[in-house]
Amino acid sequence: MHLEKLRLFNFRNFKELEAGFSEGLNVFFGDNAQGKTNLLEAIYFICNLRPMRAAKEQHLILFGEANAYLKGFFSTSSGPVDREVRLSISEKKKVLECGVEKKRFSELFWQIHAVFFSPDDLSLIKGRPAERRRFLDLVISRLKPQYGRYLAEYNRALTQRNMLLKQLKHNRTLVSALEAWDDQISELGVVILKARRAFLEKIEPWIKKYYIYFSRDERPLDVKYVNSAFSEDIPPDSFREAFSDALRKSLPEDLKSGFTRVGPHRDDLNFLLGGRDLRYFGSQGEQRTLCLSLKFAERRIFFELTGISPILLLDDALSELDVNRRRWILEEDQLWQVFVTTSDLNAIPGDVLKRASVYKIKAGTLGR
């Protein structure tokens, strides 16, 4: 799958744009604040139908305008697909595929997908556990839309339980109502946990492979899921009971703090290099390499499970990496569509650059 052509209207600092891209490596270069990241964001948005990270959809519309429009022409295994998105300040976005309006976006997930790396993603390694849970949850729900629904239900039940915990401080007679929420939470929690485990089992070998490939580091990399509720040494059949027990055990503390202290909403993912947690002990380069490995592994897993090859968007990924790592990252991908931004073309090895399509971005316009 790849993006052949993109049309933008009033998207961020692009008043109007029409551009065709190559199937392989595309390089956007230019000075700061010209629109390189914005263009990657446009590609991400037309593919995944959600803004990157914290951005709100309204932020995507050119300052002072009421509407924006994007159209992507894709080549997919089932033939050409064009997709339009209409954004407006006052209404929900509209998505059309081959001219037909689509209401259920999850039906579109398996056809077109993009994986984004930006330096902000380093918070995935350096940041709080919530960042790592968010990565897991986003990717899994993309692959299994029903996972997203279970997660939403779990969070609703959790909110209810937490509200009840606060009420119980003043009125202990309500304690019997807890049981129903605990039941729901443990049932849904185990579904979430099992899906995360199954996903990690698949992605972990790829994270390791990419890490070794990019770093040539001999030390073993371990990916560890940290379960806040119980030890996963027990058979999966017993998870539900173990989770119920954990909820019961943590009740006295939960009552004091007014929130539920165990469950998938408190779990974490650790990355250990030679036994040490990269979150605390990794160098900038190691953390960046790990983060890139996660993204490449995400793409690989997507390919294995769906048969489509996601587009890779690398924003400022090359700075802070030595020249070998840059080459390995760009060469891994000869068969896939990749978009890379840089303010310095010298960051890209000459022979790699030769086979790339290079675009200069200047003040929201694009030239060659």
Ligand X SMILES: Nc1ncnc2c1ncn2[C@@H]1O[C@H](COP(=O)(O)OP(=O)(O)O)[C@@H](O)[C@H]1O
**Which residues form the interface with Mg ion (CB under 5 A)?**
36-37
Determine, following the binding rule CB under 6 A, whether residue 293 of this chain makes contact with ligand X.
Answer: no
C-beta of 137 vs 315, nearer to ligand X: 315
Smallest distance from the beta carbon of 7 to ligand X, in angstroms? 17
C-beta of 12 vs 133, nearer to ligand X: 12
Taking CB atoms within 8 Å and a gap of at least 24, the contacts of 213-219 are 213/328, 213/332, 214/289, 214/292, 214/293, 214/325, 214/328, 214/329, 215/286, 215/289, 215/325, 216/324, 217/273, 217/286, 219/273, 219/274
Q: Which pair of structure tokens corresponds to residue 322? A: 């030595």
Taking the C-alpha atoms of residue 239 and residue 235, their distance in angstroms, rounded to an integer, is 7
- Residue 274 CA neighbour count, 13 Å, CB half: 6
Smallest distance from the beta carbon of 317 to Mg ion, in angstroms? 11
Q: Which pair of structure tokens corresponds to residue 304? A: 């294995």
List 2, 4, 5, 13, residue binding ligand X (CB under 6 A)? 13
Q: Which residues pair with 286 in a beta bridge?
A: none
Smallest distance from the beta carbon of 288 to ligand X, in angstroms? 18
> What is the footprint of ligand X within residues 228-267 (CB under 6 A)?
none
Residue 256 contacts which entry, ligand X, Mg ion, none (Cβ below 5-8 A, type-dependent): none
Residue 280 contacts which entry, ligand X, Mg ion, none (Cβ below 5-8 A, type-dependent): none
Residue 35 contacts which entry, Mg ion, ligand X, none (Cβ below 5-8 A, type-dependent): ligand X
Taking the C-alpha atoms of residue 152 and residue 225, their distance in angstroms, rounded to an integer, is 21
Distance in Å from the first CA to the final CA of the chain: 24
Instruction: Give the C-alpha distances (Å, rounded to integers) separating 45 from 6, 69, 95, 115, 152.
Output: 12, 11, 11, 11, 23
Smallest distance from the beta carbon of 316 to ligand X, in angstroms? 8
Q: Which residues pair with 234 in a beta bridge?
A: none
Taking CB under 6 A as the binding criterion, the range among 25-33, 161-169, 199-207, 252-260 that sits at the site for ligand X is 25-33
Smallest distance from the beta carbon of 359 to Mg ion, in angstroms? 14
Q: Which residues pair with 367 in a beta bridge?
A: 360
C-beta of 53 vs 128, nearer to Mg ion: 53
Smallest distance from the beta carbon of 116 to Mg ion, in angstroms? 12
Q: Which residues pair with 19 in a beta bridge?
A: 6
Nearest residue (beta carbon) to Mg ion: 37
Site string for ligand X, 26-65 (x = CB under 6 A): ----x-xxxxxxx--------------------x-xxx--
- Give the residues lining the site for ligand X (CB under 6 A): 12-13, 30, 32-38, 59, 61-63, 361
